[in-house]
Amino acid sequence: MSAGADAAPTRHDGRLHVYVHVPFCARRCPYCHFYNIGHDDGRESFFLDALEREIDRWRRAGMFEGARLATLYFGGGTPSVLTPAGFGRIAELCRTIAPAAEALEWTVEANPDDASIERFAAWRERGVTRVSIGVQSFDPARLDFLGRIHSGERAVEATLLAAEAGFDDLSIDLMFNLEVEGRKPAWAADLETAFSLPVSHLSLYGLTIEPGTAFAARADSGARLTVPDAAYAAEFRMACRAARAAGFEHYEVSSFALPGHRSRHNSAYWTGAPYLGLGPSAHSYDGRRRWANASSLTAWAEALSTGADPRAFVETLGPTERGLETLYLGLRTAEGVGGDHPLLAAGDARAVVDALLTDSLLRETGDGRLACSERGFLVLDSILDRLATFVDDPPPTAPAPVGGFDNLQGGRYRFMDS
């Protein structure tokens, strides 16, 4: 479907989940495939003017009628590079979308180098309830490998500053699957440091080499950047053990949280709830269709300034695509999917399910649902491929990318996270 398709949304259920892509970064990391550009005051103002027009566009299309803002997520890019005035403006713009739900979850991503007690306190005063800090590692060699400009000490300090500012919903990101000398003790030390800090959530990402990145060019030249499969599995299981010992629930393949501190925004994605993405390259889903904005600040903003459609594509999902997507997203979570999911009744799918249960890749939760085991999380792509065999005329890639890191080896099925 062309980008000029009708913008009128499918009706929501009264709860809005909104993601805002802030496209600015101080430096592009060699593994990053998200759209981002350098930051300056002129670009910031240009972005915010266009964002105001995009919000107004969706308001006129009826997207916000009768809605409450349930979750709001500022990702990127690096939202923490915004000036205080810029952050204040984006906050005000987003609060005009719809009245906040009684317990609005509002997350902002931050880089350690941007952390200060003044910045975090200002966010709290604006209504931000949750901070996600892009730590990736505390180890100097691993940080250098990843092209990160902060130190391990600065990452610790940033986390402590966020806690001091009053954020008890505090998440950090860690990356594994890095072919770095001394990786096993360094990974163990990263986990020990992470769980010694006052965090309530951990997002765990296995490095994936994305096309078009600096790492992809190095890999094409013969550099070995990721670890063998057995080491990948060992690092993942080490993290799972450390999380359990610290009292964290493994509630989604890449996500661990203390009880009561799951990411409600990301959980909305995994349960198939509609969500709206704002900003260049942001993706959206309305329960029937999904679309993505142009991955260019200039193209996105110019379309909005001329009344054109800023989206790069819009596609309507048929029953097969929706079924595969709900199956995949459900199997990402600890709750899994209902045993009566229509695709599990297709062809000989039940025999495959029984084989996956026998192999301890799937487990029965006791309430008629099927979920991945810890081993199953490691081969989720393979599980989906086996189950999709019985779907009549499956799409060539399902579900389509909607942004975010790939958390599994194979990496064909992608989902937005932070």
Averaged pLDDT for residues 146-174:
97
Does 236 lie in the same domain as 328? no
Residue 188 near residue 402 (C-beta atoms within 8 A):
no
Q: Is the pLDDT of residue 396 over 70?
A: no
Does 85 lie in the same domain as 24? yes
Look at residue 19 and tell me if it is in a domain.
yes
- Residue 214: domain span: 15-270
Short-list 53, 17, 28, 11, CA closest to 264: 17
Residue 410: what pLDDT? 31
Does 188 lie in the same domain as 124? yes
Look at residue 39 and tell me if it is in a domain.
yes
Residue 35 is encoded by which pair of tokens?
């759209």
Give the SS3 label for residue 142.
helix
Enumerate residues 6+ apart whose C-beta is below 8 A from 294. 280, 281, 300, 303, 310, 311, 312
Residue 80 DSSP symbol? G
Residue 193 near residue 136 (C-beta atoms within 8 A):
no
Does 169 lie in the same domain as 100? yes
Residue 360 is encoded by which pair of tokens?
């301890």
Residue 345: what pLDDT? 77
Look at residue 27 and tell me if it is in a domain.
yes
pLDDT tens, residue by residue, 193-227:
999 999 999 999 999 999 999 999 999 999 999 99
Residue 352 near residue 390 (C-beta atoms within 8 A):
yes
Count how many residues are written for the chain: 418
Does 348 lie in the same domain as 263? no
Does 196 lie in the same domain as 342? no
Q: Is the pLDDT of residue 157 over 80?
A: yes
Residue 21 near residue 278 (C-beta atoms within 8 A):
yes
Q: What is the pTM of this model?
A: 0.91
Look at residue 70 and tell me if it is in a domain.
yes
Q: What CATH number is given to the structural domain containing 88?
A: 3.20.20.70
The amino acid at residue 232 is Y
Q: Which of 5-9, 19-23, 90-94, 149-153 has the lowest mean pLDDT?
A: 5-9
| CA 201 from centroid of its chain's CA atoms | 13
User: Token pair 């409450």 is at which residue?
Assistant: 68
Look at residue 144 and tell me if it is in a domain.
yes
Residue 87 is encoded by which pair of tokens?
């952050």
Residue 142 is encoded by which pair of tokens?
């691993």
pLDDT tens, residue by residue, 306-363:
999 999 999 999 988 898 899 999 999 999 999 889 888 777 888 899 999 999 999 9
Residue 189: what pLDDT? 97
Residue 14: what pLDDT? 86
Say how many domains are in the chain. 2
Q: Is the pLDDT of residue 68 over 80?
A: yes
φ/ψ bin of 35: left (φ > 0), alpha (ψ from -120 to 50), beta (otherwise):
beta
Helices 84-95 and 117-126, axial angle in degrees (round to 10): 20
Residue 203 near residue 173 (C-beta atoms within 8 A):
yes
Averaged pLDDT for residues 131-145:
97
Residue 366 is encoded by which pair of tokens?
């006791």
Does 229 lie in the same domain as 110? yes
The secondary element (H helix, E strand) that includes residue 325 is: helix 319-331
Look at residue 10 and tell me if it is in a domain.
no
3-state SS of 258-269 is: CCCCCCHHHHHH
Boundary of a domain, candidates 270, 290, 308: 270
Alpha helices, DSSP H only, in 33-73? Answer: 41-60
Burial class of 65 by CB neighbour count within 10 A (0 to 12, 13 to 18, 19+): exposed
Number of H helices, E strands in the chain: 14, 15
Does 96 lie in the same domain as 167? yes
